[in-house]
Amino acid sequence: MQIILIQDVENLGHKDDIINVKDGYARNYLIPQKMAIIATESARKVIAENKKQQAHKEAKLKLNAESLATQLGNLRLTIGVKASATGKIFGSVTPLLISEAINKNGYEIERKQVVVADDHIKEVGSYTVKVKLHRDVYVEIPLEIVAE
Residues of the chain with pLDDT under 70: none
Residue 131 has what pLDDT?
A: 92
The CA angle 73-130-107, to the nearest 5 degrees, is 55
Contacts of 26 (CB under 8 A, 6+ apart): 1, 3, 36, 38
Give the integer Cα–Cα distance in Å for 135 and 132.
7
79-101 pLDDT per residue, tens: 999 999 888 998 889 999 999 99
pTM: 0.65
User: Residue 22: its pLDDT value, please?
Assistant: 96
- Is residue 7 within 8 A of residue 30, CB to CB? The reply is no
pLDDT confidence of residue 73: 86
Q: Residue 5: is it exposed, middle or buried by C-beta count within 10 angstroms (0-12/13-18/19+)?
A: buried
Domains of the chain with CATH codes: 2-68 (3.40.5.10), 70-147 (3.10.430.100)
